[in-house]
Structure 1
Amino acid sequence: MGAAKVLVVGCGGLGNEVVKNLIYQNVKDITLVDHDTVELSNISRQFFFSHEDIGRSKAVVIEEKVKERYPHMSITSFVKDVESFDIHFFESFDYIMGCLDNISSRMFLNNLVFTLRRDVIYIDGGVEGLRGSVKVVDRCSHFACVQCTLGNYATGGEQPGGQREGDVDGDGVPLPVCSIAGRPTNFTHCVLHSMHVAFEQLRGKKPNVSDRTHVLWIHEEAKKRATQYRIDHEDYHVTRQIVQNTIPTTISTLMVTSSIMTTEMHTVASQMGRGELQEVSPRTHHHSDVLYVGEKGFYLLHYKMFKNPQCIICSRKRIHITFKRSDTFGQLVRCIRRDYGVDRISVSTESAILFFAAGCLVGRGYERRLSATFAQLLDRGELRERDYLNVQAGGAPSFVFLLDVE
């Protein structure tokens, strides 16, 4: 473990605990990425931070405090979004520990590990209330990636402005908004009535759940309605939780989930027989996911989720290929046609279609692009020096070329 290079993405509650565990596991090379700053609400459950750190970068604060206590360690922090890094940055690590609170960044890291030149293990952790989940993404295993299991991730609370697909009552059961106008039976119903009905009727606009004055107004109106129907009042924090559809994270859940993450990392490293990963394919894992349930005790569920053969991320064939800047795009197309025995192919990047062999699209410039050199495509911004190309050959399964331009 001491030789492993670990990237921790996210320095919130889960990231704090993961960094602590890595230090105790004798990991000596840690890199932190987080663009967020310390807030007052973080201090109660994120032990690296104190009142003096409010307003400062989370990643920088952790780096400073770890260096102060463990000067022999190599720890580096970056105050930026993880998606802003070049792909080469990630290839220097053995493990990526995802301590994130949104799906988009999870998807970015998941997709990333399947495009790197070397094997990097992605361990994703998530917490919600008294539950935690951990997923190990290893492209050399037979288990599912995040894309395969996207339906298992909740989306509530990720959309800006507090927009959600639906509200829930006090027992977590979906509550149709049309029923809110009826007789309330608990304080949650009063809050939802104040938010969806009273606010618009009395103030002529929809509430902004990120605006504290709006939430306070909703809280006071909810108390009036609760009094009218002889329902006990709740405090402001309960109202805010209902309005913003948030579930508070407990310290115990963070500790358990982070321990599972670093234990899974230790297990993989032990199988390899060394700190850094070896190029072994496929590797053997006993499970792909771990679920912690803590509402009525302490339960750990280990289970296997296998790859979806139709997954566009982990089930596609990936091939490395290198060309010179003076080579033409047509040479790449001819190479694909020759080596794979196909004629009708399409080649695209994330942002554009570069080539499409179809009569209906003649005249759109695809054929003219064949004579362009890679240097010209780079200068025009149609290609990056290290890009991955999605290739569809007739009715065959798609595959990906990891293209290097020297």
Structure 2
Amino acid sequence: MVGDGDVVMSDGADRHKHLCKVLYRKSPFADEDCFQPGEETRKYLQEECKVLVIGAGGLGCEILKDLALSGFRDIHVIDMDTIDITNLNRQFLFRSRDVGRPKADVAADFINRRCGHMGVNVTPHNCKIQDYAEDFYSQFNVIIAGLDNITARRWINSLLHTMVEFDEDENPDGSTIKPLLDGGTEGLKGQSRVIIPYMTSCFDCSLDSFPPQVNYPMCTIAETPRLPEHCIEYVLVVEWDKHFPNRKLNTDSPQDMKWIFDQAKERADTFGIRGVTYSLTMGVVKRIIPAVASTNALIAASLVNEALKISTYCGPVLNTYMMYMGNEGVYIHTFEYEKKDDCLVCSGTIRNLSMPAATSLQGLIDSLCADPSLKLQRPSITSDKAVVFMSSPLLRKDHEYKLPMTLRQLVDEGVLGENEVLIVTDPIIPSKLKIRIALT
């Protein structure tokens, strides 16, 4: 029974009635110039729009499910991890028989098996996001990140900005802009964010708002441990290398993690410390943030809702930032995260620094790494005159002799120029930082 004003899609699929109501009708909330209700918009969504989901964990599983049930059909998912038994309580696409298998493969199989009759096809990529170049990411219309670490989120944010091309007037070419929808959860808190390269603030604009990663002093964990985390960290940092030299810990291996747990438990018993559990060991070693399934579901719904609006113009897009705070009640608020004038990724400006002439090159590098708005790890520096320093293991030895030299000495020897613009790169991001140093 079709009522007045109702529209049935050409394939008559009842499963997509909710899409009919959104995509086949005019809306007072939609952009009048861009939103064209009807069959053409539906066809674009289901036959042309290509979405990439980064991460197939707790948030990624929810995102994949929501995309498949919201009309998206051509979906790709990329994840480098394998399934651990501790994932099963919140990553609902996985079963106990899947432990040890790649997350991307299992998630794709599950969605294809359940939603393949709807035309949905999920393509898995079991690798790091850094394993693919620009041409891979350029094929997608929307990219949704459900990542749990800042380094990967910075990398994809930076890459999508470097892919944007500009015309003669320095205006970004819209066809090269790939929207990034970034989501994150922590217990009963979560956030979703819309990043349109060079149109909105980017991920790095908010970098200094993230709390620093917790690190325990070596003297504490080695001599006077007081917390179960101290015992776990000691085994991770000290004991592993003693017992397994030249072998990297595999955090996805149950055998490796059980060894860490057993050793930490033994050390805790020695010092009379209680509370070392396998779950806590996993959390300390993997830097796992506690996850709540309902928070993942809410944030994933927000991200897919924004993906639908960006893809079809059927409604106003989130003004950059939504925050959910479930630990204070069911409370959500949105706000615009403003662009940072000297952002490493999206400002395109030269960062001016004032440093004493007696500062060593090592001191300059340390200051760049300590800057909370940059958070670089292994910066390399070049000038128009010469290569100042390279952090690559293969090239570092050729430049280490410069580290104790002062900036004044480097200028006198022609390695640096007075007020010269220097290019700083770091493996953590594809972007380049431009700095100009005024010696004082």
**How does the TM-score come out when normalised to structure 2?**
0.57
Q: Equivalents in 2 of 1:195, 1:240: separation in Å?
A: 6
Paired residue for 1:191? 228
- Residues 56 and 77, structure 2, Cα contact 8 Å, conserved in 1: yes
Measured against aligned partners, the alpha-carbon deviations of 1:118-144 in whole angstroms (never above 9, x if no partner) come to 111001111212211222110252x32
- Residues 108 and 123, structure 2, Cα contact 8 Å, conserved in 1: yes
Paired residue for 1:316? 348
Closer, same or farther: CA 20–194 of 1 in aligned 2, 3 Å: closer
- How many residue pairs get aligned? The number is 302
Q: Per-residue deviation at 1:67?
A: 2.1
Give the AA of the match of 2:340.
Answer: N
- Residues 320 and 335, structure 2, Cα contact 8 Å, conserved in 1: yes
Q: Per-residue deviation at 1:66?
A: 2.1
Confirm whether residue 134 of structure 1 aligns to residue 183 of structure 2: no
Taking the TM superposition and a 5 Å limit, the aligned residue runs for 1:4-403 are 4-71=49-116, 72-117=119-164, 118-141=176-199, 143-156=200-213, 164-166=214-216, 177=220, 189-191=226-228, 194=231, 211-219=257-265, 222=268, 234=275, 236-237=277-278, 239-240=280-281, 243-244=284-285, 246-270=288-312, 272=313, 287-316=319-348, 356=385
Q: CA RMSD, aligned part only?
A: 4.3
Q: Equivalents in 1 of 2:276, 2:435: separation in Å?
A: 61
- Residues 94 and 121, structure 1, Cα contact 8 Å, conserved in 2: yes
- Residues 261 and 278, structure 2, Cα contact 8 Å, conserved in 1: no
Closer, same or farther: CA 6–252 of 1 in aligned 2, 3 Å: same
Paired residue for 1:320? none
SS in 2 for 1:23: helix
Q: Per-residue deviation at 1:152?
A: 2.3
Point out where structure 1 has 5 or more consecutive residues left out of the alignment: 157-163, 168-175, 183-188, 228-232, 275-283, 318-349, 365-387, 396-406
Measured against aligned partners, the alpha-carbon deviations of 1:4-45 in whole angstroms (never above 9, x if no partner) come to 210001111111000001011110110111121112111221
Measured against aligned partners, the alpha-carbon deviations of 1:307-355 in whole angstroms (never above 9, x if no partner) come to 11222311228xxxxxxxxxxxxxxxxxxxxxxxxxxxxxxxx988595
Higher mean displacement: 70-79 or 215-224: 215-224
Identity rate, percent: 24
Q: Equivalents in 2 of 1:64, 1:134: separation in Å?
A: 26
Closer, same or farther: CA 92–123 of 1 in aligned 2, 3 Å: same
Closer, same or farther: CA 137–216 of 1 in aligned 2, 3 Å: same
Give the AA of the match of 1:26.
Answer: G
Closer, same or farther: CA 203–82 of 1 in aligned 2, 3 Å: closer
Q: Equivalents in 1 of 2:115, 2:212: separation in Å?
A: 38
Measured against aligned partners, the alpha-carbon deviations of 1:101-159 in whole angstroms (never above 9, x if no partner) come to 22221111101111225111001111212211222110252x32111111223453xxx
Q: Per-residue deviation at 1:248?
A: 2.1
Q: Equivalents in 1 of 2:99, 2:79: separation in Å?
A: 15
Measured against aligned partners, the alpha-carbon deviations of 1:272-309 in whole angstroms (never above 9, x if no partner) come to 359xxxxxxxxx85521111111232111211111112
Higher mean displacement: 284-293 or 26-35: 284-293
SS in 2 for 1:76: strand
Q: Per-residue deviation at 1:96?
A: 0.6
SS in 1 for 2:60: helix
Measured against aligned partners, the alpha-carbon deviations of 1:236-270 in whole angstroms (never above 9, x if no partner) come to 24653675464321111211111121122233335
- Residues 199 and 205, structure 1, Cα contact 8 Å, conserved in 2: no
SS in 2 for 1:112: helix
Closer, same or farther: CA 213–268 of 1 in aligned 2, 3 Å: same
Q: Per-residue deviation at 1:95?
A: 0.7
Give the AA of the match of 2:258.
Answer: R
- Residues 52 and 144, structure 2, Cα contact 8 Å, conserved in 1: yes
Give the AA of the match of 1:240.
Answer: T
SS in 1 for 2:205: coil
SS in 2 for 1:70: helix
Give the AA of the match of 1:96.
Answer: I
Q: Equivalents in 2 of 1:116, 1:199: separation in Å?
A: 39
- Residues 8 and 97, structure 1, Cα contact 8 Å, conserved in 2: yes
Q: Per-residue deviation at 1:86?
A: 1.8
Q: Equivalents in 2 of 1:236, 1:22: separation in Å?
A: 36
- Residues 14 and 255, structure 1, Cα contact 8 Å, conserved in 2: yes
Higher mean displacement: 243-252 or 192-201: 192-201
Measured against aligned partners, the alpha-carbon deviations of 1:73-117 in whole angstroms (never above 9, x if no partner) come to 232111111111121111111111111122221111101111225
